[in-house]
Structure 1
């Protein structure tokens, strides 16, 4: 295993987890604040109230992905690299997949898609390199 790339992968997917944790806070905890729902392009309090249950649920998806990455990183470095890598690939891969769905469904949301998907993607690439090189 290439330790340098493994460290880089951990940092990058960890950053992805932090971003998704922040999205959880916005969607599930701070959604009622106008500054938050405007960040997501919601134009009125009535619209924010209508989509609040969906945002709350979606926030928890982001939290679970962040937890998956965090547990994967811990397992990877705690002597269970196969289990850790599997969790990292699943959780970070889901982050990348969600970013691809976002940009495919609405190209004008390319910036948010890049914010949520680039670090996990680079982390996955780094982890593949780490696991396939010495």
Structure 2
């Protein structure tokens, strides 16, 4: 693989790590005060009411991260086309989720950038690497 695929893989890995961290916050640490502040949840009662939704949403983030990880394993174990396609699917899903976040609440720009910047760079780089495979 070339430098573009390596750089794209690094950004995809960063995106996966961010989404695992989001999973930890939403599905494991949701009721902690620091997590509530991060997500703008005003009280423990509100956190409890939102807990099922956050738990579910956290797992969506984890599954996207696992998709990236599986794609990277395929990519670097010799199944480059399958790996890149899987990583692109997972990263595009992350980017689209970030766009949905910002479209639903413009005050969430920072969160959308955290969620969407690394996978966007990965999509651009791995898309370029994909064209070199064809």
TM-score of the superposed pair, with normalisation by structure 2: 0.96
Distance 1:94 1:132 in 2: 20
Summarize deviations over 1:41-70 as a string: whole Å, max 9, x none: 000111000000100010000000000000
Tell me: CA distance 1:81–1:133, structure 2 relative to 1, closer, same or farther (3 Å).
closer
What does residue 80 of structure 2 align with?
81
Q: Which runs of 5+ in 1 are unaligned?
A: none
Summarize deviations over 1:47-103 as a string: whole Å, max 9, x none: 000000100010000000000000001101111111111111111110000000000
Distance 2:82 2:131 in 1: 16
Q: Which runs of 5+ in 2 are unaligned?
A: none
Q: Is the 8 A contact 2:30 2:51 kept in 1?
A: yes
Asked if residue 36 in structure 1 is aligned to residue 35 in structure 2, the reply is: yes
- Deviation, 1:133, is 4.0
Q: Which moved more, 1:22-31 or 1:80-89?
A: 80-89
Alignment of 1:1-134 (within 5 A): 3-133=2-132
Give the number of aligned pairs.
Answer: 133
Structure of greater relative contact order (alpha carbons < 8 Å, 6+ residues apart): 1
Distance 2:58 2:96 in 1: 16
Distance 1:90 1:127 in 2: 11
Distance 1:128 1:60 in 2: 26
Distance 1:81 1:103 in 2: 33
Report the aligned-residue RMSD.
1.1
In the TM superposition, structure 1's runs of 4+ consecutive aligned residues that sit over 3 Å from their partners are none
Secondary structure, counterpart of 2:42 in structure 1: coil
